[in-house]
Structure 1
Amino acid sequence: MNLTFFDQFMSPQILGISLIILALLMPSIIFPTPNNRWLTNRLLALQTWMINAYTKQLMLPVNKTGHKWSLLLTSLMTMLLTINLLGLLPYTFTPTTQLSMNMGLAVPTWLATVLTGLRNQPTTSLGHLLPEGTPVPLIPPLIIIETTSLLIRPLALGVRLTANLTAGHLLIQLISTTTLALFPTTTILSILTMTILFLLMILELAVATIQAYVFVLLLCLYLQENT
């Protein structure tokens, strides 16, 4: 019985082709493409306003040198947000529940920020490993601790996104199964469980949005340290 609960986190395949590719292409398919017309429809105007709003919010902690990353970070935010929200629909697959995909997004982007700092300002970037005024006996262990903290950042990014979405989907699966099992015998208790499921869905909408924002915001903070 426990295996059936976790089947939803397996990457589905049709004729040996993984559907994770189709899920990753969905954000680019469902969003309308901006054009050069003076007048656009309401959907495109709302989309443009939202993208401009959270791009401005993301770039607040980053100086002007790092603003060239705005297109990459905004696209990543849009993709993660769309994938997380689409994954809450019935009979869908959420690629961000796969640790391999999240690590595939976290490691290259984190490594790019680190390499950018080492290229543009190597002294400042290496200075983060040893705060000024550290006593001499504490220098070796502090360097080891700070280096470990630096290397664990991409793992924390990927695991945080995976764990939050996986836990939410698993709770929805468990509560919905309980609701169906209780309905033939105890209708009142089943309705109560359905109410809990409705509240959990609202919570998961917030989690899906917040986790996409936190993922990209942490990358912005890492970029701020290296620009």
Structure 2
Amino acid sequence: MALTFFNQFSSPHLLGIPLILPAMLLPALLLPAPNNRWMTNRLTTLHLWLINMITKQLMIPLNKPGHKWALILTSLAVLLLATNLLGLLPYAFTPTTQLSMNMALALPLWLATLLTGLRNQPTPSLGHLLPEGTPTPLIPALVIIETISLFIRPLALGVRLTANLTAGHLLIQLISTATITLLPIMPAVSTLTATVLLLLTILEVAVAMIQAYVFVLLLSLYLQENI
């Protein structure tokens, strides 16, 4: 039984072909396509309003040079948001529960922000490794600690997203299994667990949105340190 709980996190295969790539492309196919009409429909209007709101929130902590990253950060936020929410549907696979995918998103973007800072302003970027006013005996230790902290950032981004989504999906499956098992034995308790399951599902929808926002927001904060 314990094995079946974790089967949902393994990449599905069809005729020996992994389906993680179609699962990643599906959210983009569900987004409304732009058209040449002067008046848009309600779905397109809602989509544009959501993208504008996300872009505005992400660009607030950034200086003007960082606004060049608006397209990358907004696209990443929409991709993570759609992928996380679609993963809550029954019999759906969530690619963002895979640490390899999250690290493949976090590591190149974090490295791009770091290289941007080293190219444009190398002295201030390296100055983050040593806080101002540090006593001389503590300088070597603080440089080592700050360097480790710098290189841990992409790992923290990937592990945070993976752990939150994995824990939520496991809880949903455990409680749903308990609800089905208790239904013929104790209907009253099964009704109570079904209510808990509904509340947990609502919480997981909020977690899916928050984790997508936090992932991109932390990347924008890392970018702000290097521009």
Aligned to 1:137: 137
Other structure's SS at 2:178 match: helix
Other structure's SS at 2:62 match: coil
Aligned to 1:73: 73
- The CA distance in 2 between the partners of 1:27 and 1:218, in whole Å, is 23
The alignment-based identity, stated in percent, is 73
Aligned to 1:225: 225
Deviations 1:131-187 (A, max 9, x none): 111111000000000000000000000000000000000000000000000001100
Q: How is 1:21-170 mapped onto 2 (pairs within 5 angstroms)?
A: 21-170=21-170
The ranges of structure 1 where at least 4 consecutive aligned residues each deviate by more than 3 angstroms after the TM superposition are none
CA RMSD of aligned residues (A): 0.6
Other structure's SS at 2:8 match: helix
Cα drift, residue 62 of structure 1: 0.4
- The CA distance in 2 between the partners of 1:127 and 1:143, in whole Å, is 10
- The CA distance in 1 between the partners of 2:72 and 2:125, in whole Å, is 22
Q: Does 1:202 align with 2:202?
A: yes
Structure 2 counterpart of 1:196, one-letter code: V
- Matched residues, number: 227
Aligned to 1:11: 11
Other structure's SS at 1:209 match: helix
- The CA distance in 2 between the partners of 1:98 and 1:69, in whole Å, is 25
Deviations 1:161-216 (A, max 9, x none): 00000000000000000000000110000000000000000000000000000000
TM-score (norm 1): 0.99
- The CA distance in 1 between the partners of 2:68 and 2:35, in whole Å, is 22
- The CA distance in 2 between the partners of 1:27 and 1:220, in whole Å, is 23
Other structure's SS at 1:10 match: coil
TM-score (norm 2): 0.99
- The CA distance in 2 between the partners of 1:35 and 1:224, in whole Å, is 34
Structure 2 counterpart of 1:145, one-letter code: I
Structure 2 gaps, min length 5? none
